[in-house]
Amino acid sequence: MQEPEKVLVPALVGLDFADATRLAALSGIALDPITGPVREGAVTGQQPLAGTTVPPGSTVQVTVEETGRGGGGGSALIPPPTPLDPTGAGDPAGV
CATH number of 41's domain: 3.30.10.20
Confidence (pLDDT) at 77: 44
Q: Is residue 42 part of a domain?
A: yes
Q: How far apart are CA 61 and CA 52, in angstroms?
A: 13
Task: Check if the beta carbon of residue 24 is closer than 8 Å to that of residue 16.
Answer: no
Out of 4-13, 35-44, 46-55, 73-82, pick the least confident. Answer: 73-82
| Residue span of the structural domain in which 16 resides | 7-66
* Domain count along the chain: 1
pLDDT at residue number 49: 96
pTM of the model: 0.65
Report residue 81's pLDDT band, with 50, 70 and 90 as the boundaries.
low
Tell me if residue 8 falls in helix, strand or coil. strand
> pLDDT tens, 34-59?
877 667 899 999 999 999 999 999 99
